[in-house]
Every structure is written in C-alpha cells, then in structure tokens.
Structure 1
C-alpha cells in the first residue's frame, strides 16, 4: 500500500515539475486575432481542484452531464475544461458542431488520445480510425446497413419474441414488482446485434451473466474512466481489462474462423460462385471482399466489436429512457397507444413498412433522443490550429468535443421549455424550426451513424409490441441517475411497472 502511494505521489510530482518547466509558446498570428476559450473555474495550480472535484463528483454519483450543462450557463457555449494544464475544448452551438463534423472535418480527427484510450478494446475499427482506414471500413459496411437489408424486420421480431417471453416469465414470478428495464434491454439488443453482425446469438437474454457480456461491459466501463482521469495510464487499472479482452477475442475469433470455414465450404460445394459470396451478416459481407483485400482476423475482430458497441448500446439506451419518459407522461403514452391500436391493432406483428405509419411514435422517439441522446459526449482532436465560427481559438493537437446532451437542452435553441418532454416539437407545425446540427443523436456529417435506420426500426418495433401487450406505469419515488459514460445509461437502471393489457380496455 505504501509503495503504491509513493509511486502515485512521485508520478504526480514528476508531472507537475514537467509542466512547470515546460516553455511557454508565443502566440501565433491566428491566436492573437482570436478569442481564448473560457476556462473552467479553478483556484489551485494545474487546475488540481477542478480535476479532483470532478472525479470526486462522479464517484459520489453526481449527474456529470447536468453539471456540465450548468457550467455552460456560466462559461457560455464554448468552454475549456482544462485539467493539469491540458486543454479540453467543448463546443455546443450548432454552427460550431457543423464546423468540426462537416465543414472542416479534415482538421478534426479521432486523434491519438481517443485511439490510445480504446486501442486494446476496439483496435483499428471504424470508431477508432481516421483517414483511409476509416473510409475503407465505412465504404465496405454501408451496403449492409441499407434499408433493404432489414426491412422485413424478421430478425428484429424474432428477438422481440424472446424479450416478451423473458418479460412474461419475470412478471409471473414477481407480478407486483417494478422491473429494471435497462439491463433487460441491454441483453435484448446484445442478442439482436450479435446475430445481425455475426450471425450468432450470444443468448444474453437467456444467460444474463454470460462471459462475453460481462467482458464487454467491463471493457466499456474502463474505457469511460480513461476519458475522465488525467494520466489514466498511471491511475486506471489495466490487468483485468486485458483478461476481459482476451475473453472477447476468444469468442470473436472463433466466430470469424467458423464464418471463413462456412464460406469456403459453400464455395467448395458450389452453393455460390467464388466471386459472389452471400452476406446475410456484416461479417459475411466483409468476407465477400476478403480475396481482394486480404483482411486479417485481427482486422475483422476490430470491425465486429466496433459495430457491436453501437448496435447494442444506442438502442438499449433509447428504449430505456423511452420507458422512463412514458412512465412520467401518461397522457403522451395513451396517445401513443391509441395510434398503435388505430393503425395496427393489438395483435399485428409490425413490419418495417407498417412502422412507418406510426407518425406520432416517431415524434416520441425523437423527443427521447433529444433529451437522452445515447452518446452524450463525442470527442475529436484538432490537427492544425483553427478558429471556430464564433471566433474562439482552437490550438493544434487538443481534444475538441461536442455534447449532444447539452446542445439538445439549450433554451436558445429549443425554447424556454427545453427541459420539458414534448413530442409535439416534432409535429408538422413545429418541426421546421429545427435547424441542421441542432439535433445530432447519431452524429452528423461524413461520420454520421450508418446504423441509425436500423436503430429507429428496432426501437419502434420493440416499443410497438411492448405497448400492444403491456401498460407502462411509473414507480413512485424512483429517480434514475444518468451517467456520462460512453453511452447515456442510468447508474441505478430504470424501474417501471408492466401491467398486462386487456384488449377490452383499449
């Protein structure tokens, strides 16, 4: 214990000395002509009080996203969360978000800091890549995410069937208890995403504590802490992370080997010609380009885990917060149920085409995405110095982030009722007021999420079938604790009551 404390103290002292001796650079001409970004308040050298206060708040359960939103009310819509004399710029105005994601996208890469944080977990996959590697993966993956790949919704409905069975079983055992839905939805979307991407179901709905799911969750949790802690290589543990990643690797490499063997056998049996391999899954799709690209197993492993993190978490987050909002807003829930019954009735298993009839449901989903965007914070890194559209200076090689969570709650954009859950914002009378880059739950620009249509479809089909079968009621006194991790979840989950719906009630 004493040795560990000594090592940490020595490391911090060495870092402070290094910063103290670091020569100050003269201002460039561009910097001299621009405004400095307002810095988070601090009183001690190297912003130690601000850094420790932030970490302490997260550990004690403070709502870090709301804390940042409140800080923006003081500092403004561009702020510098500097810690240990390292800049960390956050932009909130739509014009600035558009600048870094689209207009000057080439100057804002994922960058070395982001890649460092995720390297062991995500390797060189699409979310951790820049330049030609990113372009190649995106170009190859795009066709698999076209609407035609999943419009019959058979795979989604298959997993909703299993979700409803598990929910019914839980309610049979505990009919009068509230259900924690976040864990349930994470397991559901893990199964659907793994089959869509890999062609193999990890069966986490059936086996809640599967090795794969446990390893996946731990890798995400540690990655989130690396974002928060300066000098994370010293302070954030790594030994267990490597063990859990080994579990992921074993599982994914086995799937890859099986898929390659399956493809080779299909060609050998003459089921498909060598130059036209089928691609029912994303893995099959990439393997159909194997001959000309010579993808390594490591490349395929990185690609699959990158898409899995998006395919599971975004929809699980969306469904979780939808349950919360419907419990809190019974009049909105009843209007939503009325639309489902009018358009589809109580028993129709919805297809992709039928979901499109549910206009009010889409408004509800968009409003959930506005107040509870699945990725609340997204980081880039500047390549060269730059000036934002609002006149603030961005140095080279510094993290520059935008927060969908805060932008989606800004009164100057959404009105004085910006914190109110109101699906009518998305109705035909008001939707025209929503300008580009005001609403970015799936990012925007060239790196906009490839799977957003799949996420909408999966969420809407699931929501429809849940409401066909159950009424959703709030648990009095329960309050979720949002976390600012990679994905916006609740630290204590979300608990609601499910009451079996009698169709004579409708």
Structure 2
C-alpha cells in the first residue's frame, strides 16, 4: 500500500469525519466523572498521530512495544483519539475486570468489529454478540471439557508426525537452522482441523496446502482492516475473496460429509443405542459432530456451521502455535530452565514414555514455564470491545457510549507496578508456590476472562505441554547466533521473521 495514497485518503476521511460528527452535549454522568487523558496530537483531527501510526506499521514497527511505550509515558488509561474518534485503551486489572466481567453486558464486539471480520468469520462465536454468541458458547462448551481429551491421544498422533518431519529435516540438513514457527503453525493446523472437523489438513506433509495459504492470507488482510481508515477502498479485496472461497469449499465439503454421516447415524441409532459418534476417535466426537447432534433443536444451516467452525479454528490453531513458538525462543535463551524441565520429565515419565493427560498434570515446573511465556508473550496481545451505554470505570474515568475500548494483555503483563521491577525477566519461579499467591485476578489474562473466557484454554495447555515434553525427550534445541525475532501483532502474536533454532537428535537419558 502506497503511503501517498494512504495520506490522501486519510486526509479525506478526516475532513468527512469532522464535518459529519455530531456534537454531543455532556450528560450528568459525564459531568461528574473524569475525562480519559488524551495522547497529545499537534495537527487538526489528530492527523499526525494517525498517519504516524499507519506509516510506522507499514515499515514494520513493533506495535506491542509502541503501545507499551505510550502507556508508560501517558498512563494506564488513555484515549488514542484519531480523526476526532475516541479510542480508549485500559491496562489496570480493575478496569479490565470491569469490562470483561463486572459490566460485561455493556461491552460487546460491536458493529465495526463485526463488519471487519464478517467475510472471514461470518456470525461465528469470535465475531458474535448477544444471544447468537450465548447459543454458540452453550453448545460448544461440553466438547471442550477436559474429559474430551484426557488421554491426549489426538495430540500425540500429530506430535508423532511433527517428529517425523523434524527427523527428516535433520537427516537432510543436519547443520542447518530450522524455522520452528513454521512447523508449529502447520502442526497446530493439522491438530485443530482433526479436533474440529475429524479431517486433518495434513499440512505437515503438504506445506503449501491451499487451505493453509488461504487461512493465513485471510487473517493478514483482516488485521490490516483494523489499521487503515476507509479500509473498504484501500485494503486489497479481490484476492481476499478468492482465498475465502478456498476456505469455504473445504469447510462445506467437510460439513456435507458430516451431514451424510449424521443421517446414517440417525438411521442406525434406531437399531442400536451405540452410534457412530460414540465410536469415533475412541469415543470422542468432533466438534462438528457435536454441533450436528443439536441440529434438530437449533436448525443450523450450512453457512452457520461454516462460520462456527472457522471461528474455532482461528481461536485454536494460531494461539497454540504462538505459545509454542515463543516458548522455544525463551528456552533457547535459558539452558538452566531447560535442564530443570528435562529433570522433571525424567522423574515423571522417564526418557521415552509418551505422556498422557494425567502425566502432564504432574509436570508442575513445566506448567510454570508455560505460564511465564503466556505472561510475556500472550498469543492474543490486544483485544477490542465497544461500549453500548456510557459508563464510568473503577478508576473514575468516563467512557462515552459507542466507544471502542481496548485492553492489552501484553502491556498489562509487563506493568512493573503489578509484577515488580524484574517484570521483563523470564522467570518461571514467579509461578511457584512461594510467589504465585501475589498474582491477583485480571493481572494475568492470556485467555481473556469473564463470560467470554477462552473455551479451549485447557486444550491449549495440554497441547503445549504434550508437545514440549515429546520434543525435550527427543532433541537438543539451541539458539542460532545473531538471530532475534521481530514481534508481529496481527490477530495473534508471531515473529515476523520466523523462529530460527538449531535442533539435533538426542535422547533425554544422555543429558
């Protein structure tokens, strides 16, 4: 996107916004509350701030650190107004709790958010409000209960394939570095599509699959829609719609096959109490099968099912890949942490045993490591709501109606006043029994919180811990000299330049 084009359209948008924005008289509540501090801007309609942000983003700016630096300078509740439109950011736990839990009904995704995501995610759970969201969550919750994946068999099946791919790479190029982020994205896509659809993409075997390419492109373009004024006219759409069509063709094929299976199950269930659903994957239905079991009550159509499945895929695939990627980055910097993790694995499992769900629960230090990665590198570093009615935050600041209000787990997790002067240090002992009690509610929100807390957080922990255990049992992982990841905060926190590591085969017993 050309910066001159962005400049011209932004100026035009600013003029229109200024001309059409109605003047709103102060309400009684507003008059009695404190206005949220504005981040200084020196041109009319905050054009310097808007253009500076867009151009810096195009140039590869670290947006997470950009926001953290602003809040460090101007406070933990700020108004990043642009084009005369308010955009509130809150970091303190009491305000985050107010938005996500205590007054959650007043803060929804809102029409602007939904319009940006609609072509990609439709009216699925990630993009829905009100009764639509409640219905989908109530239906999905049972499938994400711990009992659905206690034996971790599905996860281990895909870790087996991940290990095969890594071994092949080592045998082919033993001294070359490996982009472990790329592998984790393909691994979690395979696992997530298997868990959700019962039909894995197998992207570990076929790296450049149409589906994975389309899915990645759709996320990237959707993220840019948040950044650019008049995005409908500036952000590329022709290819975007072609890639969405690829996603649709795949998902609708899966849905149609599942509908056929459902018809067969309905016929069979009249003859036998044990249905195919109960037999599937050792007694575990897919999420799609789970939804279809309620079809007669809810009358889902194919489009509704398509939206739900893509929403859960977005929520489950990249977030776990992000967690594993940043865990690798921190581990290659800290051989002392790796040594403690390996010692614990040997005590609990030995050098070769494949971990099950009950085994993972015994790896206490490993869980501390994962939590510390989630603190410093939350997979969803930034999230947005919109106020419905006017409100006052616990710290006394006034929120106007219909105002975008964002919270940043990334920034909250790095506040010295909450976590101490060593806030930027990677320290898993922060989560040990001696210190964990000092972590207050809503200080730590990697999976969000309140009624919309992530349904798949237990699955994310289990996937991450099973995968880490297996990798540490089989390999020695070392840093690549001179490599440093560049944070990219689109929808999910990744590294713009991948995650390069050196990896070689080594039995855990040899350490």
2:420 to 405, 415, 423: 415
- State the alpha-carbon separation in 2 of the partners of residues 357 and 337 from structure 1: 13
Is the 1:83–1:230 contact (alpha carbons within 8 Å) kept by the matching residues of 2?
no
Q: Identify the residue that residue 495 of structure 1 maps to in structure 2.
A: 500
- State the alpha-carbon separation in 2 of the partners of residues 325 and 52 from structure 1: 34
What's the CA shift string for 1:73-116, capped at 9, x where partnerless? 11100111211111111110000000000000000001111101
Q: Identify the residue that residue 263 of structure 2 maps to in structure 1.
A: 264
Is the 2:10–2:229 contact (alpha carbons within 8 Å) kept by the matching residues of 1?
no
Report deviation, 1:18: 4.4
1:357 aligns with 2:356: no
Q: Identify the residue that residue 403 of structure 1 maps to in structure 2.
A: 408
Q: Identify the residue that residue 37 of structure 2 maps to in structure 1.
A: 38
Q: Identify the residue that residue 59 of structure 2 maps to in structure 1.
A: 60
Q: Identify the residue that residue 26 of structure 1 maps to in structure 2.
A: 25
Is the 2:383–2:406 contact (alpha carbons within 8 Å) kept by the matching residues of 1?
yes
Partner secondary structure for residue 379 of structure 1? strand
Is the 1:267–1:273 contact (alpha carbons within 8 Å) kept by the matching residues of 2?
no
Report deviation, 1:328: 0.8
Q: 1:166 to 1:496 in 2, by over 3 A?
A: same
Q: Identify the residue that residue 100 of structure 2 maps to in structure 1.
A: 101
User: 5+ residue gaps in structure 1?
Assistant: none
Q: Identify the residue that residue 457 of structure 1 maps to in structure 2.
A: 462
- State the alpha-carbon separation in 2 of the partners of residues 188 and 483 from structure 1: 20
Q: Identify the residue that residue 327 of structure 2 maps to in structure 1.
A: 322
Report deviation, 1:20: 3.6
- State the alpha-carbon separation in 2 of the partners of residues 201 and 35 from structure 1: 53
Q: 1:161 to 1:274 in 2, by over 3 A?
A: closer
Report deviation, 1:30: 1.2
Report deviation, 1:41: 2.4
Is the 2:384–2:404 contact (alpha carbons within 8 Å) kept by the matching residues of 1?
yes
Q: 1:292 to 1:77 in 2, by over 3 A?
A: same
1:348 aligns with 2:347: no
Give the count of matched residue pairs: 505
Q: Identify the residue that residue 228 of structure 2 maps to in structure 1.
A: 229
- State the alpha-carbon separation in 2 of the partners of residues 86 and 139 from structure 1: 35
- State the alpha-carbon separation in 2 of the partners of residues 436 and 81 from structure 1: 26
Q: 1:247 to 1:337 in 2, by over 3 A?
A: same
Using structure 2 for the length normalisation, give the TM-score: 0.95
**Deviates most, 382-391 or 260-269:** 260-269
1:481 aligns with 2:480: no
Report deviation, 1:178: 1.4
Q: 1:131 to 1:17 in 2, by over 3 A?
A: closer
Report deviation, 1:119: 0.3
1:444 aligns with 2:449: yes
Report deviation, 1:272: 5.2
Partner secondary structure for residue 37 of structure 2? coil
Report deviation, 1:46: 1.2
Q: Identify the residue that residue 110 of structure 2 maps to in structure 1.
A: 111
Q: Identify the residue that residue 181 of structure 2 maps to in structure 1.
A: 182
- State the alpha-carbon separation in 1 of the partners of residues 143 and 13 from structure 2: 50
Q: 1:72 to 1:274 in 2, by over 3 A?
A: same
What's the CA shift string for 1:249-283, capped at 9, x where partnerless? 01000000000101212332446569996461000
Partner secondary structure for residue 467 of structure 1? helix
**Deviates most, 467-476 or 375-384:** 467-476
Report deviation, 1:37: 1.3
Q: Identify the residue that residue 367 of structure 1 maps to in structure 2.
A: 372
Is the 2:13–2:229 contact (alpha carbons within 8 Å) kept by the matching residues of 1?
no
- State the alpha-carbon separation in 2 of the partners of residues 188 and 275 from structure 1: 30
Partner secondary structure for residue 489 of structure 2? coil
Q: Identify the residue that residue 129 of structure 2 maps to in structure 1.
A: 130
**Deviates most, 357-366 or 168-177:** 168-177
Q: Identify the residue that residue 383 of structure 1 maps to in structure 2.
A: 388
Superposed CA RMSD: 2.0
- State the alpha-carbon separation in 2 of the partners of residues 258 and 168 from structure 1: 34
Report deviation, 1:31: 1.2
- State the alpha-carbon separation in 2 of the partners of residues 490 and 444 from structure 1: 25
Is the 2:17–2:84 contact (alpha carbons within 8 Å) kept by the matching residues of 1?
no
Report deviation, 1:8: 8.4
Report deviation, 1:19: 1.1
Report deviation, 1:24: 2.2
- State the alpha-carbon separation in 1 of the partners of residues 469 and 353 from structure 2: 10
Q: 1:7 to 1:457 in 2, by over 3 A?
A: closer
Using structure 1 for the length normalisation, give the TM-score: 0.96
- State the alpha-carbon separation in 1 of the partners of residues 22 and 453 from structure 2: 39
**Deviates most, 172-181 or 12-21:** 12-21
- State the alpha-carbon separation in 1 of the partners of residues 22 and 415 from structure 2: 39
